[in-house]
Chain A
Amino acid sequence: EKVMTQSPATLSVSPGERATLSCRASQSIGTNLAWYQQKPGQAPRLLIYGASTRATGLPARFSGSGSGAEFTLTISSLQSEDSAVYYCQQYDDWPPWTFGQGTRVEIK
C-alpha cells in the first residue's frame, strides 16, 4: 500500500498571499495524483487530477505540480472561500487507492 503524507497539517495564510501545500508518496506514483478540497459539512470536491490538470471550472489560482513522489498544490492568491481541508490521493496502485491525512488551510 502506498502511503501519502501531507504537510503541513495546518497552514495559516493571509488573504491574497500564496499557499503551498505538499504531498509525498512512499513510492513513485508517476503523475497519478489528485487533489480535493473539503469544506465543513460538505463532500470533497475534485480540484486537480493527473498531478497538474485542473478540474472543470476550477479557478486559475489553483495549480498542481510534481511527479514521482513529491507533489505540490499552490493557491496563488488565497481567497476567504479557500478556507478548507485539502487532501491528496494516489491512484497509481490499487487496491487500495489512498489519501493523505489532509492539510487545513486557515485564513489569517
Chain B
Amino acid sequence: EVQLVQSGAEVKKPGESLRISCKGSGYTFINYWINWVRQVPGKGLEWLGRYDPNDSYTNYSPSFEGHVTISVDKSINTAFLQWSGLKASDSAIYYCARSLKGFGYFDLWGRGTLVTVSS
C-alpha cells in the first residue's frame, strides 16, 4: 500500500526541542518531494517547506525558515521535521505530503501529527 506513516502526538514545553517523522512506503521514495503542511485545529493549511530526497535540496516558506528544519534519511525512507526551540504558537497538526518532482500539488498525505506546546 502506498502510504505516509507519521509519528504519534507530542506534548512539549516552550523552548524544548522536537523531531517528528514521516515514513514513506509502497513507492520509490526518492522520486517524490516530501512536503510539510501545518494546520492549527479549526484553521486552514500552511505550507512549511519541501525536501528532495534525491539531491537534499530544500525550500522553506519565508514564514517558517529559520524556525524549522526539514531532513530525510533515505536509508529508511523517512522524512523529519525538527524544532530546536518550540513556542506555544507551534501547537498544530503537522502533515507530511508528497508531490511529484517539479510540481506543487500533494497527491498523498500522512494522517498528521498533533504537536501541543504548553507550559
Query: Which residues of A are at the interface with B, using a C-beta cutoff of 8 A?
Result: 1, 32, 34, 36, 42-46, 49, 55, 87, 89-92, 94-102
Task: Please tell me if the beta carbons of B46 and A46 are within 8 angstroms of each other in the complex.
Answer: no
CB interface residues, B 55-70, toward A, < 8 Å: 59-63
Residue among B44, B104, B111 having the largest count of chain A Cβ atoms under 10 Å: B104
With the chains together, A45 CA to B103 CA distance in Å? Answer: 16
Task: Please tell me if the beta carbons of A89 and B49 are within 8 angstroms of each other in the complex.
Answer: no
Residue of B nearest to A1 (CB): B62
Q: Which residues on B sit within 8 Å (CB–CB) of A1? A: 62
With the chains together, A91 CA to B50 CA distance in Å? Answer: 12
Task: Please tell me if the beta carbons of B44 and A44 are within 8 angstroms of each other in the complex.
Answer: no
12 residue pairs A–B, Cβ–Cβ below 8 Å: A44-B37, A44-B45, A46-B108, A49-B103, A55-B107, A89-B45, A91-B105, A92-B104, A95-B62, A96-B47, A96-B61, A101-B44
Residue of A nearest to B6 (CB): A43
Q: A43-B95, A44-B95, A95-B60 are in contact. Are A49 and B105 (CB under 8 A)?
A: yes
Contact of B45 (CB < 8 Å), options: A42, A49, A95, A99:
A99
Residue of A nearest to B103 (CB): A91
